[in-house]
Amino acid sequence: MTAAAFFDLDKTLMAGSSGMQFAKAARQRGLISRAQILRWGRDHLRYRIKGATDDETGEILKVARETLSGVSYNEISRMWPEVLAGILPRIYPEMLAEVHRHQDEGRRTYIVSAAGSDMVESLAQVLGMDGGIGTRYVVEEGAYTGALDGPFVYGRGKVIAIEEIAEQVDLDLEGSWAYSDSASDLPMLELVGNAVAVNPDAPLLEVARREGWKVMRFERLGRNLAIGGTVAGALLVGGLGGWLSRRST
């Protein structure tokens, strides 16, 4: 059996929320209103400071489902290069180093996030990871219906998704690692043998100290990434854009 390392995305692998990058791209395409983007910006700032509650996360899912309903799959797919170009400069270099360390030691590496599966899989592809596990939405006749295709990959939903992958590729979860910033990910952290709290919120920090888990802190966003934001954006538009187009055909 092979061990793996599972990384939460928002405030763990990257600074801030990937949802804000999606919101910016969606606004430019007229999928959401100016009032919505301003409200999301306010919520994003609050999230950067103190995290999000389960109720707030549920509201985000509700808005995402309403936003996607009736929108063509191709239109959303064409947004991913722009969204990822906004995410890449926010990747913590310390966490990228952790990804590489696990790879060098023979472990598979995955992003596990409530964000849309296509975006999560695309980001994992760009970072050279084994896979991305995200929330899937139903597509019928080339358009999103707004319904979920499987679990909402949040809280216990992450456990369900990870266990499915573990069964498919024969992973040793007891020998695996998981990284997160939030107590909402305690089910995922408790699923594996090695849990790591990254820039943890207060409830998670309390559990980490009690359980003797490793704690990593680096609140300030690193600017000197191995993947430079400008270069990454150009590569994404030229390279990943073609890859995504091939996937949608």
pLDDT in tens, 23-73: 777 777 776 555 655 555 555 445 444 445 555 556 556 666 666 677 788
**Which pTM value belongs to this model?**
0.78
pLDDT digits 0-9 by tens, 187-221 = 999 999 999 999 999 999 999 999 999 999 986 54
Alpha-carbon gap, residue 217 to 242, rounded angstroms: 37
Q: What angle do CA 215, 114, 235 make, to 5 degrees?
A: 90
**Cβ within 8 Å of residue 179, ≥6 positions away:** 5, 6, 7, 8, 12, 13, 95, 98, 196, 198, 216
Q: What angle do CA 227, 95, 237 make, to 5 degrees?
A: 30
Residue 113: enclosing H or E segment and its boundaries? strand 108-116
Beta bridge partners, 72, equal 143
Residues 98 and 178: beta-carbon distance below 8 Å: no
How many angstroms separate the first and last alpha carbons of the chain? 35
pLDDT exceeds cutoff 90 at 137: no
pLDDT digits 0-9 by tens, 99-121 = 999 999 999 999 999 888 888 99
pLDDT of residue 9: 95
Beta bridge partners, 137, equal 148
pLDDT of residue 236: 42
Domains by residue range for the chain, with CATH: 4-248 (3.40.50.1000)
Active-site residues, by number, are: 8, 10
Tell me the torsion sign for CA atoms 14, 68, 61, 44: positive
Which of 26-35, 70-79, 167-176 is the most confident on average? 167-176
CA 159 to centroid of chain Cα atoms: 15
188 CB-side CA count, 13 A: 31
